Structure 1
């Protein structure tokens, strides 16, 4: 499995607008091959921003990379440029290969 994360430093006072953008947008993820799940996370508040992260789980890094070249990706990100005033800097991407998964049923090694 592969986890793709983006960190967003959202300017103080812009949290509601940022959340509305994300919670009302069409993700176009549901039918993408290899997609498993998505989470939008709200983190700690700092002096000048609140940290948010998007977290998506994929069957493989190849599946994630294929999505980034797809029409579904272009549709999901079509209006992303208009949201720059909400952020401090650019979103920071982090990708992780899953080595271990712990579930309520036990432990499995991927």
Structure 2
């Protein structure tokens, strides 16, 4: 399993609009093979939101980035530049351990 984390710097005063864009998203990613889950994390003490997607494999993630549903999900009006206070940071991690209340 891999986790793709897109860390996005949202400018002060634009948080609600940023979150609303995700609440109103098209919901296309869920239909892709290998997709596991999607988390949108609001920062507690920084300006970085984290958009995390979980995939069965790197191949599944890469296939999604080349798919028509990816293009559709990222189409439409672009957010205003002033919504962001800097460039986003994309990180990809391979899961080496996964524990939860049921397995610990």
Helix, strand or coil at the partner of 1:7: strand
CA RMSD of aligned residues (A): 1.6
Give per-residue Cα distances to partners, 1:34-60, cap 9 Å, x unaligned: 0000010001344xxx22110111001
* Counterparts in 2 of 1:30 and 1:21: CA distance versus 1, 3 Å: same
State the match for 1:96 in structure 2: 93
Structure 1, gaps ≥5 residues long: none
Helix, strand or coil at the partner of 1:43: coil
> What TM-score results when the alignment is normalised by the length of structure 2?
0.90
> What TM-score results when the alignment is normalised by the length of structure 1?
0.85
Structure 2, gaps ≥5 residues long: none
Q: Relative to total residues, which structure has the larger strand share, 1 or 2?
A: 1
Q: Report the count of equivalent residues.
A: 104
State the match for 1:76 in structure 2: 73
* Counterparts in 2 of 1:8 and 1:80: CA distance versus 1, 3 Å: farther
